[in-house]
Structure 1
């Protein structure tokens, strides 16, 4: 005979059976990724509505410049970031991290949330290649036929790009995208002088990706077009520039101490020619998206001091990002007390007192007055 006590006992056994038999099986079948999400998921940023459009503040404000950081591990491992902030004596306003298309196959908002939750603008170095299979030789590392520019323009990666456009749109805060950087080189598959690409292919691919984001309604993107500083034999930037309608910031990469630049050169000596070329093709402001210095000759601190004295003399440059990592050499400011001291002293200038908030709008004019 079925009685109420027996029904209650059966229900308890059923719940207990799920808890101790079914639930462990589900966890085992879905794997550690589910547990990783549960333990490490970042809280989504929440923002107080900013001022009305007529009163919005630009980032960086007129008469100021920001400083940022680029590390090899990005927000996945903040060790290098923490060392940089400690050496600088204050927090940067921008953090850049890299994602290769072949590895970051699905959109994940967590890296962006981690950066934004720390009060910084996320900048994504978005790279259409498989960096895990790159050759160690510059002339060969750009040969990846799967990532020819014509394939991007032809729509082979449209589903992928559209998925990221939707993901970034749904973040609800600004993101800078540095797409296919250093295109005037020969060491990446998206360079026109590599991988069977042809003249005009880069601009077509850039505009295609940009338009897919526009069509998806991803209006929260700051588009950063970022060539390498000019070198002997590099192509003219005019043929690679998508146009001001497709670009918000012009980024530049240049180091003291990379191949061919081992002799001491000041910031102006490294950047002057390219800044002049940019001035002739674009009205957009400039961001130094990668910069660092070697200490091989013991002049790293001297170079940092020169950098931070020189930048305020270039009102078209609205910010810079230091590469705080060990790669070809130890580029970190945290590597030595002298470099840390020089950097901290330089960014203590009022010129580098910009602050960031997600309700700011990016400054998109090359020059502004305080």
Structure 2
């Protein structure tokens, strides 16, 4: 018979306590409230639960434009400085534009946040037509009544704004002020730098002003890289040549900076009777250039400027036909109407007559153009998105 001594009793009591503790600990741990520390296994289980389909998470941002949609934009003479013309356009079109293009010349304009905010606050994507020149020279020549060749010279011969000067950094302080300003906006904007570079009527066109082949691409990439270095990543870069009007002009690929530097490709083109009395349909004006562009990029396409003459009384007809043809171009994500009356040239506006306004309103009433832009949308940069 085992004799119970005091030391043995103490040891038995300690053993019993250890057994109780071993069985009680899991129950205590399992009963802890949400505020208690959790084991690594429990925390991992929680993380896995959050990763399951249907778990609460931030919704994905909507693309602009949404799939299957095409935005309607407008450009007026005074842009966000005066919305009178835009309001008239909206009323005539019976449609709220989703984008507004406005121009800014380097010699005159500093960054002004209010211009972008005014457009954004009216429910439109701001698109800046950024022009490296002094546009006042050409305007002064026109006011003096100078012959056309002298007006052209005043406009496109501005050595200070040669493309090589941009690429070598002469304007970097000015560019950074805009990059910092646009970054501070906190919402998407589009920039169409040096449009219609394949022409001869601006100082950034390669065929004038002492510019050399390849200079446009170098200038574009320099500006793009400077914005990227400044953290201005809220920019949609819009490359926008003029449509090729004949085979003697340079191929558009010559001026293309590359897909890493471009988000949207654009084309300017108009139905005009200034140089010919022939009727030219939307397809006649744009199809060749679109086919050429598609040989070197698949980026989304925007008609960045268009309008129609009414000299032969066919403006309303052209609008109706153009929008019918647009339905065949699924890669065109936007159309910007040039709502300007160039009194010595052409009145491009849809408000030029009730018949024209009615034709435009009927065309853009199609569901393809019906949606709302908001500043939290992400610009569509791939057609497959």
Indicate yes or no: 2:372 matched with 1:355.
yes
Q: Is the 8 A contact 1:315 1:367 kept in 2?
A: no
Measure how far apart 1:222 and its partner are: 0.4
Q: Residue in 2 aligned with 1:80?
A: 85
**Structure 2 Cα separation of the partners of residues 258 and 188 of structure 1:** 22
What does 1:139-178 correspond to in 2, within 5 Å? 139-140=152-153, 141-178=155-192
**Structure 1 residue 326: Cα displacement:** 0.5
* 1:292-337 deviation per Cα after TM superposition (whole angstroms, max 9, x unaligned): 0000000000000011111121011001000001112111101100
Aligned-pair Cα RMSD in Å:
1.5
Aligned counterpart, 1:23: none
Give the greater-gyration-radius structure (CA).
2
Q: Check the 8 A contact 2:302/2:333 in 1, yes or no.
A: yes
Residue 184 of structure 1 aligns to a residue whose secondary structure is coil
Q: What is the TM-score when the length of structure 2 is the normalising length? A: 0.80
Q: Give the equivalent residue in structure 1 for 2:210.
A: 196
CA drift of 1:261 comes to 4.7
Q: Is the 8 A contact 2:129 2:194 kept in 1?
A: yes
Name the structure 1 match of 2:324.
309
Matching residue of 1:217: 231
**Runs of 4+ deviating beyond 3 Å:** 51-54, 135-139
Compared CA separation, residues 231 and 69, structure 1 to 2 (3 A) = same
Q: Shift in Å at residue 281 of structure 1? A: 1.1
**Deviation digits for residues 74-124 of structure 1, max 9, x if unmatched?**
0101111011000000210000100000010x2111110100000110000
Residues in 2 aligned to 1:229 and 1:52: alpha-carbon distance in whole angstroms: 45
Contact 1:66 1:355 in 2 (8 A): no
**2:292 paired residue number:** 277
Please report how far the alpha carbon of residue 259 of structure 1 lies from its aligned counterpart in structure 2 after TM superposition: 3.9
Contact 2:197 2:242 in 1 (8 A): yes
Instruction: Tell me the SS of whatever aligns to 1:170.
Output: helix
How far did 1:66 drift?
Answer: 0.5
Q: Quote the Cα distance in structure 1 between the aligned partners of 2:115 and 2:65.
A: 23
Matching of residue 245 in structure 1 with residue 260 in structure 2? yes
Does residue 206 in structure 1 map to residue 220 in structure 2? Answer: yes
Query: 1:231 maps to which residue?
Result: 245
Which of 360, 366, 382 is the matching residue for 1:343? 360
> Which residue is 2:8 aligned to?
none
2:89–2:350: 8 Å Cα contact kept in structure 1? Answer: yes
Contact 2:273–2:311 (CA<8 Å) still a contact in 1?
no
Alignment counterpart, residue 381 of structure 2, candidates 349, 364, 370: 364
Structure 2 residue aligned with 1:69, among 58, 70, 74?
74
Q: Does the CA-based 8 Å contact 2:106-2:131 persist in structure 1?
A: yes
Equivalenced residue count is: 317
Match in the other structure for 2:22: none
Aligned to 2:305: 290
Give how far 1:260 is off.
2.8
Cα distance in structure 2, aligned partners of 1:174 and 1:52 = 23
Q: State the alpha-carbon separation in 2 of the partners of residues 176 and 145 from structure 1.
A: 27
* Mapped contact 1:285–1:367 kept (Cα < 8 A): no
Q: Verify: 1:117 aligned to 2:134, yes or no.
A: no
Verify the 8 A CA contact 2:95 2:365 in the aligned structure 1.
no
Paired residue for 1:128? 132
SS in 2 for 1:122: strand
1:54 Cα deviation (Å)? 6.4
Cross-structure match for 1:7: none
- Aligned to 1:191, the other structure's residue is in SS state coil
